[in-house]
Structure 1
Amino acid sequence: MATFLLIIIYLAFISLGLPDSLLGSAWPVMQPDFGAPLETAGILFMTIAGGTIISSLISGRVLKRYGTGKVTFVSVLMTAVALLGFHFAPSIVWLIICAVPLGLGAGAVDTGLNDYVATNYKARHMSWLHCFWGVGATLGPITMAQFISEDNSWRNGYLVISGIQFALVIILLFTLPIWKKVSRKRDITIQEETKDLKGEIEEEDNNIKPIKTKGVKLALSSFFFYCGVEATVGLWGSSFLVNVKGLSVVTAAGWISFYYAGITIGRLITGFITYKITNRTLIRWGQIIALIGTIILVLPLPSVFSLIGFITIGLGLAPIFPCMLHETPTRFGKKNSQTIMGYQMALAYTGTTFMPPLLGFMASQSTIGIFPIAIVIFVVAMFLSSEKLNIIMKKKDVYKRNDMSSTL
């Protein structure tokens, strides 16, 4: 049963990745169809991101009330309907309206499934889960490009992706009883742990709001800077290569694709490494490797080293996000994990939404040559937040061991 449900979760994460890269792929064709200015895509992106942030913030309460299965079912249904709305949209206004449920649905699915896997499965499954997101994010533009190249119809691309989402909705509907059974087991486990570990810090902080739990703000900072790095490198890396390193647009785009390949392949490999290495160690070394990659970009080296730098950054980033997510129940307890997971996803999307435009504004006032320096600063900020959080967690671990020994 657990294996079958895990397959469903993997499929859900592929479907989560499918719409994420559609707008960028289709916009060059959508723009003249609607007669819209170029920056309209930014408005649509911000609307989707805003909905995602809102749903992530409230997802903790929603998940506790309705359960992960129902929330996932409704959220995927929302995204399916929204994508179908994109297919039929007669104007930009309708696209903006459809962007709202698209964002709301994505945020709830992301938070719910991340918490579910972090609580019920091993660390390797979290890495592979985000690897499957990469599969979806890769298939989305490939599907769209196929329809655009054949009949110049971006609408049919959205229609097909919507159909895939509706197929998943049907699967989720028939698997709702399985979610309920696993959720009941999860609730029993949490109750037993809460009863048996009365001496733990988590139990002492029962009346403290999750956001005020020790270490939560540092975890949120880590997520904010991580996603800021990932999105900023993806958005501005090509411009850096063209304007600073003198590469052609085609070559620069190809080199950035290696960056994303590094993240996807790195997460596949990380799933196997977790058998031997802890999440905290993987997070630390991932940040160090990413920092090495950014330093390679800063140094005045031949252009080919930039490719090595981007691949190194991708490989370094690969384990960080899934391992931080999987650490959430361990760091803050299963009781608060759903709510804190929602906070983390909200800050992650906030970093994705605002950090790239911030660098773009800074670059417009100076030069895109500041790109690698800014990435170094972001990575260092993430590393310091993560290491300070590790210190708090070590103190908590010592407190647990001392408390347990005193009760023997």
Structure 2
Amino acid sequence: MYSFLLAIIYVAFVSLGLPDSLVGSGWPVMHQDLGVPVAFAGILTMIIALGTIVSSLASERITLRFGAGAVTAVSVGMTAAALVGFSVSDQFWMLCLWAIPYGIGAGAVDAALNNYVALHYAARHMNWLHSFWGVGASISPFVMGYAISSGQGWSVAYLVIGLVQAVLTLALLASIPLWGKVDDARTRTSTIETHDLTEDAPAQKGGAPVPLGTALRVPGVVLILLAFFAYCALESTALVWSATYLVAERGALPAAAAMLGALFVLGLTAGRFLAGFFADRVGDRALIRGGFLAIGVGSLFLLLPLPTDVVGFVGLVIVGLGCAPIYPAIIHSTPGNFGRRNSQAIIGIQMAAAYVGSTLAPPLFGVLSTWTGMWIFPVFIGVLVVLGLVMSERLNRVVAVPAGRRSAEA
């Protein structure tokens, strides 16, 4: 039962990644067909981001009322409908309308799935699951590229991914009863192991949600929100601006820089897959610390004023590998740091902080680089590394984890 549901969750994480690269990979053609400026992509992604932030903040209330399985199924169904809607849109305002359910569905499923896995499965699965997200994010640009190169158009790519999401929705709907059985069994086991049937028990379906103000007052929550904001800000900035930096400052050929941008995502995916093999032994705190330190080393490589672009390529690969374990480790450590009862509420807030960071940082860097020059890229990354590392280390001193508490259930 546990393994079958885990397999479904793995597929769901692939589904989470599938739509994330579609707008970026298809926009060079989409904006021409729709007759809008290329900058309008920012409007579309902002609408999606706002939807994800709102639904992330509301995720605990929704999940407690309907259950993680139902929320996941309905949320994936919303993204499926939105993607099919994108495929039939021939005006930009239509895309904006469909972006609303797209963002709401993405935020709700992200928070619900991450909390469920953090509560019920080991750290290795959290890393591998986020690696599967990377698989989905890596597949969709190829789907978009084939649809455009074959003359079928960008709308076909959205339709194909939307239909894949629709099939997954049916599988998730059929699996809803299984989520409750696994949830009950895992809760009974975990509460017996911790000898705590009240404070450390996870919030149950139908229970009272933790108010936002109460969650923010839990010791250490603000620190982890700042650390998560910093991480997601530097990851999104690297994804958007690394190729431009390598061309403008390191003299790389545009084709080589673009290829390295793809390697950054693949490195992120591979790094999370590898981290899964030792995550349970090393622990979440060491993964977070090591990840930030690796990113710092990579940013120093990028900053070195050497005449070859190879050092810059190596630096960016190191940044990608450093990024790999941080996101899943922060999520997986949440129940242990703040209590299982608070985890859904706090993970929802963390998701909101993540989307704020990933939405605001790239345009902020764009403005900053116009004033200072593109050379500021590794410095910008380095500042975010320091913020994330300092906040996470302060959290380690604030949060006292009892020696008998397990970081995960197998």
Q: Is the 8 A contact 2:191 2:197 kept in 1?
A: no
Once the two structures are superposed, residues 20-51 of structure 1 have per-residue CA deviations (whole angstroms, 9 ceiling, x without a partner) of 00011111111111111111111001111110
Residue 249 of structure 2 is aligned to residue 256 of structure 1: no
Query: What are the superposed Cα offsets for residues 355-405 of structure 1, whole Å, 9 maximum, x if unpaired?
Result: 1111111111221111111110000100000000011124x548x99xxxx
2:42 matched residue in structure 1: 42
What letter matches 1:174 in structure 2? A
Partner SS, residue 281 of structure 2: coil
Distance 1:242 1:341, change over 3 A: same
The answer on whether the counterparts of 2:144 and 2:154 sit within 8 Å (CA) in structure 1 is yes
Partner deviation per Cα, 1:231-262 (whole Å, 9 max, x = no partner) = 00111111111111111211111122222222
Aligned to 2:25: 25
Q: How far, CA to CA, are the matches of 2:66 and 2:280 in structure 1?
A: 33
CA separation in 2, counterparts of 1:229 and 1:199?
35
Q: Contact between 1:59 and 1:112, CA under 8 Å: does it hold in 2?
A: yes
Q: Aligned residues, how many?
A: 395
> Which residue of structure 1 lines up, in the alignment, with residue 396 of structure 2?
390
Instruction: Indicate the larger mover: 211-220 or 249-258.
Output: 249-258
1:214 to 213, 219, 225: 219
Question: What is the TM-score of this pair, normalised by structure 2?
Answer: 0.92
CA contact 2:122–2:280 (8 Å) conserved in 1? no
Q: Is the 8 A contact 1:190 1:335 kept in 2?
A: no
Q: Deviations over 1:39-75 (max 9, x none)?
A: 1111001111110111001101111111100100110
Picking from 338, 342, 347, the partner of 1:341 is 347
Pick one of 352, 362, 365 that aligns with 1:359.
365
What residue in structure 2 maps to residue 317 of structure 1? 323
Residue 279 (structure 1) shift: 1.2
Q: Which amino acid aligns with 1:328?
A: T
2:270 corresponds, among 265, 279, 295, to 265
- 2:291 is equivalent to residue 286 of structure 1: yes
Report the CA distance between 1:196 and its aligned residue: 2.8
Report the counterpart of residue 84 of structure 2 in structure 1. Answer: 84
The whole-number CA distance in structure 2 between the counterparts of 1:350 and 1:189 is 36
The answer to whether 1:303 aligns with 2:309 is yes
Say which is worse superposed, 186-195 or 236-245, in terms of deviation: 186-195
One-letter amino acid matched to 1:231: S
1:276 equivalent in alignment to 2:281: yes
1:97 and 2:115 matched = no
Q: Secondary structure at the match of 1:334?
A: coil
CA contact (8 A) 2:295 2:322 kept: yes
C-alpha displacement at 1:184, in angstroms?
Answer: 2.7
Deviation at 1:316, TM superposition (A): 0.9
- The runs of at least 4 consecutive aligned structure 1 residues that moved more than 4 Å come to 186-195, 197-200
Match of 1:327 in 2: 333
Q: CA deviation at 1:183?
A: 2.5
**Cα 1:190/1:275, change in 2 over 3 Å:** closer
Equivalent position amino acid for 1:246 in 2: G
In structure 2, C-alpha distance between the alignment counterparts of 1:80 and 1:196, rounded to whole Å: 40
Q: Is the 8 A contact 2:199 2:339 kept in 1?
A: no
Go from structure 1 to structure 2 and tell me whether the alpha carbon gap of 1:273 and 1:349 turns closer, same or farther (over 3 Å shift). Answer: same
1:324-348: per-residue Cα shift (whole Å, max 9, x none)? 1100010011111001000001000
The one-letter code of the counterpart of 1:343 is I
Contact 2:302 2:315 in 1 (8 A): yes
TM superposition shift of 1:296: 1.0
Q: Distance in 2 between matches of 1:351 and 1:21?
A: 18
Deviations 1:160-217 (A, max 9, x none): 00100000011011111101212333554576678737798x9xxx998121100001
CA-to-partner distance for each residue in 1:122-174, whole Å, 9 max, x for gaps? 00000000000000000111111111111141111111001000000110111
Of the structure 1 ranges 275-284 and 45-54, higher mean CA displacement relative to structure 2 is found in 275-284
Residues in 2 aligned to 1:199 and 1:283: alpha-carbon distance in whole angstroms = 26
SS of equivalent residue, structure 1 residue 51: helix
The residue number in structure 2 matching 1:167 is 167
- Separation in 1, partners of 2:63, 2:233: 27
More helix by share: 1
Aligned pair in 2 of structure 1 residues 298, 8: CA closer, same or farther (>3 Å)?
A: same
C-alpha distance in structure 2 between counterparts of 1:45 and 1:21, whole Å: 11
2:141 equivalent to 1:130: no
* Matched-pair contact (CA < 8 Å) for 1:22–1:144: yes
Q: Which runs of 5+ in 1 are unaligned?
A: 402-408
Instruction: State the alpha-carbon separation in 1 of the partners of residues 161 and 353 from structure 2.
Output: 27
| Mapped contact 2:138–2:266 kept (Cα < 8 A) | no
